[in-house]
Amino acid sequence: MENLAAAEQSVERLSIDDSIEYLKANHSQAIKLDDRDGYEGVIVDSDMLVDIARVIRDELGFDYLSSATAVDYLGEGDHMEMVYHAYRSSGGGALVFKAQTDREAAEIPSLVSVWRGADFQEREAWDLYGIRFPGHPNLTRILMWEGFEGHPMRKDWREAYYEEEQKPFDSRWPGGHVHRAEEKNVFGKNVSYPPDIDLNRLMDTSEEAVYQSLGLGVDIERIMDKDGFETNELVVNMGPHHPSTHGVFRMLLTVDGETVTSLEPVMGYLHRNHEKIGERNTYLHNIPFTDRLDYISSMGNNHGYVLAVEQLMSLGRKYNPPTYRCEALRVMMVELSRIVNHLWAIGFWLNDIGAFFTPVLYFIQERERILDFFEAVAGSRMMCNYMRFGGLFGDLPERIKSVSNLTNDRVRDYNTMQFLTEMINERIPRTIDELEVLLTQNEILIERSMGVGILSAEDALNFSAAGPLLRGSGVAYDIRRADPYSIYPELDFDVAVEEEGDMYARYRVRVTELRESVRILKQILPRLESTQGESIWADGKPGAYAPRVPHGESYGRVENGKGELGYYIVSAGGRGGSSNPWRYHVRAPSFINLTPLGHMSKGHKVADIVGILGSIDIVLGETDR
Amino acid sequence: MDLNLQEVNATEFPVPVELENNIAITSLSQLYNWGRRNSMWPMLFGLACCAIEMIATASSRFDFSRFGFEVMRATPRQADLMIVSGTVTKKMVVPIVRLYNQMPEPKYVLAMGACASGGGPFKEGYNVVSGMDKYLPVDVYVPGCPPTPQALLYGMIALQRKIDGQSIANGDDVPWYGEGPAEPTPVPVLGPDIIDPRQMDMIRRQAESAASEMDLLGQRELPALTQLVAAKVETAQAAVAEAGPVDEDALSVVLPTGGTPWAEAEDIREKRRLRALARKALRATRRTAQTEGE
């Protein structure tokens, strides 16, 4: 018995390669190595997928499904593929496994029974790729509306403003003439209709379908309450225009009195087709688009994307890793973004639970100064577009312009390093202290948030929660430590973790992370001083405008303010590589963190729902992409 | 627009000495506009990235309350101004039009940023509406991605200047001062793709003609259309080449009325200019009449 337990434990600690060997040894009939050039992991037989997934989760210990996404290999093998990245919550790299299916009748068994975190991701794959998932409890469209024609991410589906497969378009470069997309469209608008459209009998079924997924219909349902009185269960619609949904997010609640009995998130109101546009763009084109995903912390988004592409580029021959100064600058920018993000998240969460706007105003003070710094360095306050493959847009300027006080102050001229030192050593810690004094022991805050919106550690892992939502549930999983990148291994900081799993725990995690970020920044400052004058580019000059990226796949992930931000990129060029990604997928923490929202909200009052949503901290640019 | 007490007191109406500088006399339009422009309440309504800069504009560093945009209201029924702050998607345009219909008149729309003005970086996306003005009348466009708070403030002040120029008396300027109730904007329908009910006839016509011409629609193959256009251009070019050197008069189109399109356009422009001048002159005479009234 003990031997068996020991053996199981050792299996749980197998390295990635050994895990694949283990799978091959035990399930040889269902497993095939993925030997395509630049690919990793295994290809699992579709019929056996659920069983193999259970083996991967239970026997091998890969208990965290980070990303599940589809790829359309039209012309590159003519099949559809689901790609899964599973991790161990104790840390380490990914076990990548894939399932392939025919393009025409695409069907892959659902993994919701193994990882509930696959729920929304499979719905997304159905919506955008048209892959059916037998066994999925609610396989409806998630980003587009029910009734939309076609599955837009398929390679042979073309948008109304289609011009060419890949940029740069011939019409713009090198010849170059200006035209408007409307001129080439029959309807003069961004629309296209099927030939059999019947305008006389036009039905908007999108709403109906949304309500049907609740299992209630639109009508009120009569139920008996516990005292035997007949009462009504109501459907309440919150959003997409609602001040507490942090953008154009929508929740459908069924309530019994004030108590929520079920909650269904409805999204896609800001689905602006990052991925389709990203596959037309060149690699470099995509960097400014990543800014607009999580628009509170654009630097972090840049970092994840740049890492993913650098991983691919490192497969090629001509690749130099970024210099030390470049890495230090990247980490500094990302940590400053994290501070902005957490201040913003805490502030807006307080908005939601009743402290309307006053705390935010205090937090925005520090945010504005950090934004001044970003503006001086990158040229834009919010959309920094700062990182490049193998380098950065530019080094720190000598002097920057900012204010010391937001109201009634003139613009002052600062030495950049002095400005940073003052901000990191004095101003930000002071803001955090102030925040803690006023809030952490605040009785109203504790009353409102303790014990509300509880997510247990097992559930958090199973739902693929990430970031403060996961760490607030007692899982010490921070990618900066679990699967380190950049210069994080040499930096001294702790992973913030709280056991309770409620709203208050998430707040505490954020506050601790603010302090840890300051701790990291304090270590970065001397590194910047000592590397003064070093180039930010590997070979001393900026990288190519249109780099050719070698054939293969990569998954670059970073710990962003809201959680694990991953980019799955496939380069499907010939031998020389490609200048446009074949697949560009964003594993958005805000999107996947919403999966447990319904589970967490059940049994709470309507007023707590907005607080629970605020404590997850979503941003819609990333949720809907 | 500041009310200059000296100026407004210079009136033909006798004002008792003890009330001088306590009474202001002006036109109803000016008074009304002065009140309106300084109490424009925006709707608390954020769409995308621009919303964050809108919040920054509302908070202490920039503070649009200083200019009369006092407080943001979450309900459209208490709002005068809709700041469309971000990318308008096909799925979202339906609620936006509904919100707009719920706003009381007079109401204004400010398109903040590149996306709301014309689709911006996401214009080619299949779920993106290329500009709010495809569905709602937009009063001010603020460029930028996202616009800085300063730019947004400038746009809002531009809106105030626009209000200053409006008159209760003139129904052409502002639809809601005209006669009869204003029509609500029809809500778009989410079918196989978004459908604007106002354009049903056009869509039907285009669909029919395209289907009859070469069964284009439904293939979603725009290259086929570009080929068609290219073929037409080619035949036209061939015809031109055959005809030899071009005589400009021969090319001119003659309208049923006898003029050419550009002459007619110029005509309209000239008429419009004269009308504007006349209106300006009228206003000037009124103003001098007021000041000379003493």
Residue A15 makes CB contacts below 8 A (sequence gap 6+) with: none
Minimum mean pLDDT range among A61-65, A104-108, A223-227, B52-56: A223-227
Q: Average of pLDDT values for A117-124?
A: 90
Last residue of a domain, one of A129, A157, A182: A129
CB contact under 8 A, A149 and B127: no
Tell me what pLDDT residue B240 has: 62
Q: Show the tokens assigned to A583.
A: 């697949």
A488 bridge partner residues: none
- Residue numbers in B near A280 (CB within 8 A): 124
- Nearest beta carbon to residue B218 from set A145, A194, A364: A194
Nearest CA in chain B to A375: B148
Q: Give a yes or no: residue A474 inside a domain.
A: yes
Residue A599 touches partner B, C-beta closer than 8 Å: no
Rg (CA), chain A: 25
Range of the domain at A467: 274-624
CB contact under 8 A, B95 and A620: no
Strands of the sheet containing A31-33, edge to edge, are A31-33, A42-44, A95-102, A79-87, A64-73
Q: What is the mean pLDDT of chain A?
A: 85
Closest CA of chain A from B288, distance in Å: 41
Between the alpha carbon of residue B156 and those of residues A407, B47, B70, the distances in Å are: 20, 18, 12
Residue B220 touches partner A, C-beta closer than 8 Å: yes
Instruction: Count other C-beta atoms under 10 Å from residue B95's C-beta.
Output: 17
Q: What is the mean pLDDT of chain B?
A: 78
CB contact under 8 A, B193 and A360: no
Give the pLDDT confidence of B99-154 residue by residue, as tens digits: 999 888 888 999 999 999 988 889 888 999 988 988 888 999 999 988 999 999 99
Between the alpha carbon of residue B134 and those of residues A586, B208, B243, the distances in Å are: 30, 23, 41
From the options 3.40.50.970, 1.10.357.10, 3.40.50.12280, 3.60.20.10, give the CATH code of B49-189.
3.40.50.12280
Closest CA of chain A from B188, distance in Å: 9
Tell me what pLDDT residue B189 has: 83
Residue A285 touches partner B, C-beta closer than 8 Å: no
AA letter at B272: R
Domain ranges of chain B: 5-37, 49-189, 196-235, 245-294
Number of domains chain A is built from: 2
3-class secondary-structure state, position A565? strand
- Residue numbers in A near B217 (CB within 8 A): 186, 192-195
Residue B187 makes CB contacts below 8 A (sequence gap 6+) with: B94, B97, B98, B101, B197
**Closest to A192 (Cα-Cα) out of A156, A150, A153:** A150
Q: Give a yes or no: residue A255 inside a domain.
A: no
Residues 368-427 of chain A with CB under 8 A from chain B are: 368, 381-383, 406-407
- Residue numbers in B near A194 (CB within 8 A): 192, 217-218
Residue B281 touches partner A, C-beta closer than 8 Å: no
Between the alpha carbon of residue A618 and those of residues A63, A240, A248, A269, A592, the distances in Å are: 24, 14, 11, 14, 10
Residue B95 touches partner A, C-beta closer than 8 Å: yes
Q: Answer yes or no: are the C-beta atoms of A294 and A622 closer than 8 Å.
A: yes
- Residue numbers in B near A191 (CB within 8 A): 193-195
Last residue of a domain, one of A76, A109, A129: A129
Q: Show the tokens assigned to B265.
A: 């356009």
Residues 238-267 of chain A with CB under 8 A from chain B are: 240-243, 247-248
Tell me what pLDDT residue B70 has: 84
CB contact under 8 A, B145 and A383: yes
- Residue numbers in A near B223 (CB within 8 A): 162
CB contact under 8 A, A364 and B60: yes
Give the pLDDT confidence of A424-438 residue by residue, as tens digits: 999 999 999 988 998
Q: Average of pLDDT values for B212-234?
A: 54
**SS3 labels along A133-173:** CCCCCCCCCCCCCCCCCCCCCCCCCCCCCCCCCCCCCCCCC
Residue B53 touches partner A, C-beta closer than 8 Å: yes
What is the sign of the dihedral through the CA atoms of B110, B113, B118 and B122? negative
ipTM for the predicted complex: 0.88
Q: Show the tokens assigned to A170.
A: 């011939």
Q: Give a yes or no: residue A22 inside a domain.
A: yes
Q: CATH no. for residue A28?
A: 3.30.460.80
Residues 131-190 of chain A with CB under 8 A from chain B are: 143-145, 147-150, 152, 157-163, 181-182, 184-187, 189-190
- Give which of B124, B132, B212, B214 to mutate to test A binding, by max A Cβ within 10 Å: B124
- Nearest beta carbon to residue B125 from set A147, A191, A276: A276
Tell me what pLDDT residue B82 has: 92
Q: Give a yes or no: residue A114 inside a domain.
A: yes
CB contact under 8 A, B217 and A288: no
Q: Work out the percent of chain A whose per-residue pLDDT is above 90.
A: 24
Q: Give a yes or no: residue A23 inside a domain.
A: yes
pLDDT confidence band for A329 (50 / 70 / 90):
very high
Q: Average of pLDDT values for B276-291?
A: 82
Q: Give a yes or no: residue A156 inside a domain.
A: no
> Is it the case that residue B219 has pLDDT exceeding 50?
no
Closest CA of chain B from A273, distance in Å: 5
> Is it the case that residue A32 has pLDDT exceeding 60?
yes
Give the pLDDT confidence of B151-185 residue by residue, as tens digits: 999 999 999 998 888 887 766 667 777 666 677 88
Q: Give a yes or no: residue A173 inside a domain.
A: no
- Give which of A269, A273, A286 to mutate to test B binding, by max B Cβ within 10 Å: A269
Residue A288 touches partner B, C-beta closer than 8 Å: yes
Annotate chain B with DSSP letters as a single string.
----HHHHH--SS---GGGTTT-----HHHHHHHHHHTT-PBB--B-SHHHHHHHHHHSTTT-GGGGT----BSSGGG-SEEEEESPPBHHHHHHHHHHHHHSPSS-EEEEEHHHHHH-GGGTTSTTB-S-GGGTS--SEEE-SSSPPHHHHHHHHHHHHHHHHT--TT-TTT-GGGSSSPPPPPPPPEESSSEE-GGGHHHHHHHHHHHHHHH--TTTT-HHHHHHHHHHHHHHHHHHHHHH-SPPHHHH----TTSS-HHHHHHHHHHHHHHHHHHHHHHHHHHHHHHHHT-
Residue A401 makes CB contacts below 8 A (sequence gap 6+) with: A372, A376, A411, A412, A413, A414
Nearest CA in chain A to B87: A270
The secondary structure element, H or E, covering residue A68 is strand A64-73
Closest CA of chain A from B277, distance in Å: 35
AA letter at B148: T
- Give which of B91, B195, B204, B206 to mutate to test A binding, by max A Cβ within 10 Å: B91
- Residue numbers in A near B53 (CB within 8 A): 381-382
- Residue numbers in B near A148 (CB within 8 A): 190, 192-193
Annotate A469-523 with DSSP letters as a single string.
HHHTTT----HHHHS--TTGGGS-------SS-SHHHHHHHHHHHHHHHHHHHHH
pLDDT confidence band for B251 (50 / 70 / 90):
very low
3-class secondary-structure state, position A529? helix
Residue B103 makes CB contacts below 8 A (sequence gap 6+) with: B43, B76, B77, B79, B80, B82
Rounded to an integer, what distance in angstroms lies between the CA atom of residue A28 and that of residue B155?
A: 66
Q: Is A243 exposed, middle or buried (0-12, 13-18, 19+ CB in 10 A)?
A: middle
Minimum mean pLDDT range among A33-37, A308-312, B80-84: A33-37
Location of structure tokens 């991953």: A566
> Is it the case that residue B250 has pLDDT exceeding 80?
no
Tell me what pLDDT residue A168 has: 81
- Residue numbers in B near A192 (CB within 8 A): 193, 217, 220, 222
Q: Average of pLDDT values for A97-112?
A: 90
Q: CATH no. for residue A437?
A: 1.10.645.10
> Is it the case that residue A184 has pLDDT exceeding 60?
yes
Rounded to an integer, what distance in angstroms lies between the CA atom of residue A622 and that of residue A301?
A: 10
CB contact under 8 A, A186 and B52: no
- Residue numbers in B near A365 (CB within 8 A): 60
Closest CA of chain B from A141, distance in Å: 13
- Nearest beta carbon to residue A193 from set B61, B87, B192: B192
Q: Answer yes or no: are the C-beta atoms of A240 and A249 closer than 8 Å.
A: yes
pLDDT confidence band for B233 (50 / 70 / 90):
low
Residue B203 touches partner A, C-beta closer than 8 Å: yes
Give the pLDDT confidence of A190-226 residue by residue, as tens digits: 888 877 677 766 667 777 777 766 654 444 555 666 6
CB contact under 8 A, A269 and B226: no
Last residue of a domain, one of A103, A129, A155: A129
| A613 vs B220: which has the higher pLDDT | A613
Q: Give a yes or no: residue A207 inside a domain.
A: no
Between the alpha carbon of residue A220 and those of residues A143, A225, A230, A254, the distances in Å are: 27, 15, 12, 9
Residue B230 touches partner A, C-beta closer than 8 Å: no
pLDDT confidence band for A518 (50 / 70 / 90):
very high
Q: Answer yes or no: are the C-beta atoms of B37 and B49 closer than 8 Å.
A: no
| B203 vs A267: which has the higher pLDDT | A267
Residue B151 touches partner A, C-beta closer than 8 Å: no
